[in-house]
Structure 1
């Protein structure tokens, strides 16, 4: 199979809306453990509720005839967002999961042209924040280099490249299941964390 032309972002934008939605759904799967971990640590949030909404997204992507009220799902999801006054690291990563899934729901409701780029950025941004938190490098130049070369960022980039490559190919039900498994990553998030 010939490699599609253009850089990563151009290729993402060139995808059909459904393929973009599959890409975002796979990234949301990988963000889900961060939300679950936040809920586990704080007792706030509802990972099962968030997962149920993501399950409905996969159902819509797999069964074209599925009739799901994503307006209602977006309302439910908004209620599951961490409290606005919680500025902890865990809460911010949980919010990223909610924002990414909200962007995906927006596209299923026919809105939000740049959602796929937004979700890609959200996932990479969380990794960057985690590296900055754990490495504690003050010098901006050294920190930028550290982030670029960090194994977690390399893993994130490889993951997004693999998902993009997969969604550019055949998207039958088996391919969708494989992408969902890839996103689940054995329960390990983009930060290399897993909820117990």
Structure 2
């Protein structure tokens, strides 16, 4: 598994910048329902702003000449973070979505060579944490096996592989739309959660 992952991360790093950005945008897209659910259940957060900032990132990918002030967008994004004192599971996964979009913005704001790896790992770690939370297994070895063989882990690995394949092709406008559709995943997040209203 580790060697396959190593190959995966190497391939990610070898992608051109716009392909890495499309990969990150797709993963952020799939984390967005987790944030929306957190905002809906707690009243904290601003899903609309998160959605708008991510939309601008997609726009920049489709129209590289688009003039977007990503420093300003990063400021708006920072205001969307869950309260620091909220250490709930929902808050941490909501923060994952914010952090993933922030990492994407960083690639336009300056050097962020690790950003694509960070976003990939953040999404996988969120899935792992969700399985650990829901399975209630205290034995570390059993838990590791549960996580490895869990359908959500399979789903996450398969999703990231599919996005990597998609962005490894030339990024025409149609391909970007397809990558975005892949990320939206019909409103279902990397944790298998969705907003009923979506």
Partner Cα distance (2:181, 2:36) in 1? 17
Count of residues in correspondence between the two structures: 191
The answer for the alignment partner of 2:3 in structure 1 is: none
In the TM superposition, residue 64 of structure 1 has moved relative to its aligned partner by: 1.3
Structure 1 runs of 4+ with >4 Å offset: none
* Structure 1 residues 44-98: Cα deviation after superposition (integer angstroms, max 9, x where no partner): 1011110000000000000011010000000000001000000011000000001
The answer for the alignment partner of 1:171 in structure 2 is: 171
TM-score by length of 1: 0.96
Partner Cα distance (1:93, 1:195) in 2? 15
* Structure 1 residues 17-53: Cα deviation after superposition (integer angstroms, max 9, x where no partner): 1110000000000000000000010011011110000
Partner Cα distance (1:122, 1:149) in 2? 19
The answer for the alignment partner of 1:18 in structure 2 is: 18
TM-score by length of 2: 0.95
Structure 1 spans left out of the alignment, 5+ residues = 1-5
RMSD: 0.8
Q: Secondary structure of the residue that 2:137 maps to in structure 1? A: coil
In the TM superposition, residue 178 of structure 1 has moved relative to its aligned partner by: 0.6
Partner Cα distance (1:42, 1:180) in 2? 28
The answer for the alignment partner of 1:76 in structure 2 is: 76
The answer for the alignment partner of 1:27 in structure 2 is: 27
Structure 2 spans left out of the alignment, 5+ residues = 1-5
In the TM superposition, residue 195 of structure 1 has moved relative to its aligned partner by: 1.5
